[in-house]
Structure 1
């Protein structure tokens, strides 16, 4: 039974990936607004009903990659070492992401990642939908920061500032890479900016 469930889950993951790949290919070729969901379903060889079972909206066909990382910051805070501060854990995770060229940090010059970045930033509907994911991630982070000795307003304000810093750092990195700067060349500057940003957060927020 366990093996059967494993096979079923892998099949679902393959189907999900195939639908998303078909959609992104069409969107990159002709533009997000010029492609309908029915065409995506046809190219992916699934029904519209199946497509919507995996992706509730057309925007999710692209942005599920962002949604999959929606609670990353909150997860880092919850998984931090005993005695380690939240900002210390988030700083370590961001620096590790830069080293690994994680798309979440913006420091990734893989052509496919750059293509999706340009698609998202150039499509108002995707920008709006991405803002919803960002807001949900910020709320999750606020919940992770909250504690018996941390007033709700403090955790909410802290989460907003941390999320803004992470987003600003990632956007600056991706803008540089999209402009033609190799990720390897950008890396030292990205690390310096991240160190500076987290130092300012630590000094101002007290979540060291």
Structure 2
């Protein structure tokens, strides 16, 4: 086959791929992602279903370019940065150029709104970008100081930088980009230490404890029997090889009863706690922290006593943690269980530090803290991960690895040109 023939074939494939992507985006923006079937996209692009799936293996992938050059661009921005340019400055410049290119498309606002309001697309985007985390962490690690915890800190920096590749999280992605890199470079100056103390809301006097009735005890026993049975089956056969029906049969109950206790499905059997109570506990840790204690330290101390960070987990707790680490679906569920606290935790941080309601750093801090459990799942020492990432957020990178003194964010250098998109 001649080179010219090969070139024509590749160009034809590229045109077909682009036609499919354009048709999909048009339909998704017009009707909404969940209201459009893959068959609708194939018909609009005038291709067969098999032809569509050759280019796009899933419905979610229709929305995003594969962007095979992204990882190479990220790594190159670190390894080939100009002399005198820090790793974070280089990554910020690369991301800013990306934001500028995206903002030139008049349909970007509609696209970002589509992703923001479609959970399936938000989850897909996160997974798509995080596949670059390991390689980016390696490049950052090689460029940073040789200090204890450097590998953990590099992975956290990579995670938080990649988090900024999702600009639909804010109305002004460039402002959030600046806030994120200021936090990662200099750490958080803990304004709550200088704010007027904000008293916690008064709680209603506790009601006298009443002994649980027969019905409550029976429900608790049924719930415990289901979770115990599920964990035993998962441990014996693997999470992916056990179905809900098998669990119900082994626990001596019906599927309907199982879903009455665990409406979120199979994954929730591994996390039987109340999410609302978990969120409330995080907020209390911020509001009821000790005098002179920073918000970050209060959250660190609260988390250190729970989940993967406990120093002496029971055998059952250890079994659950091992299961979560080995199962991507459970890691995603665990991450979501923490990140549901984002809005209330942001509000508590904002209030306690006397910050404006729309403060970007408060939200970024909450977002990063809530990702620490997932970062810990990739390491052998979860508590060490909690300590290192907390230090990173307190003092910035790489200072958080080399000294123990919080840094104050310096004023901007007026001689340094601002990185802005061209008009």
Tell me if TM exceeds 0.5.
Answer: yes
8 Å contact from structure 1 (residues 169, 193) kept in 2: no
Equivalent of 1:167 in 151, 158, 163? 163
RMSD: 3.4
CA distance in 2, matches of 1:58, 1:150: 43
CA distance in 1, matches of 2:69, 2:112: 15
Change (3 A) 1:34 1:96: closer
CA distance in 2, matches of 1:34, 1:73: 35
Partner of 1:33: 34
Task: Answer 1 or 2: which has greater helix percent.
Answer: 1
- Which structure has the larger Rg over C-alpha atoms? 2
Listed as ranges, the gaps of 5+ residues in structure 1 are 178-185
* C-alpha displacement of 1:50: 1.1
Partner of 1:206: 398
8 Å contact from structure 2 (residues 42, 49) kept in 1: yes
Change (3 A) 1:190 1:129: closer
CA distance in 2, matches of 1:29, 1:12: 26
Equivalent of 1:122 in 101, 113, 117? 117
8 Å contact from structure 1 (residues 77, 86) kept in 2: yes
8 Å contact from structure 2 (residues 20, 45) kept in 1: yes
CA distance in 2, matches of 1:82, 1:133: 31
Equivalent of 1:135 in 130, 136, 146? 130
* C-alpha displacement of 1:156: 4.7
Alignment of 1:15-34 (within 5 A): 15-34=16-35
* C-alpha displacement of 1:191: 7.7
CA distance in 1, matches of 2:136, 2:148: 12
* C-alpha displacement of 1:150: 5.2
Listed as ranges, the gaps of 5+ residues in structure 2 are 188-391, 400-423
Partner of 2:349: none
8 Å contact from structure 1 (residues 169, 194) kept in 2: no
Alignment of 1:157-196 (within 5 A): 157-165=153-161, 167-168=163-164, 171=167, 175-177=170-172, 193=179, 196=182
Find the residue that maps to 2:63 and give its secondary structure: helix
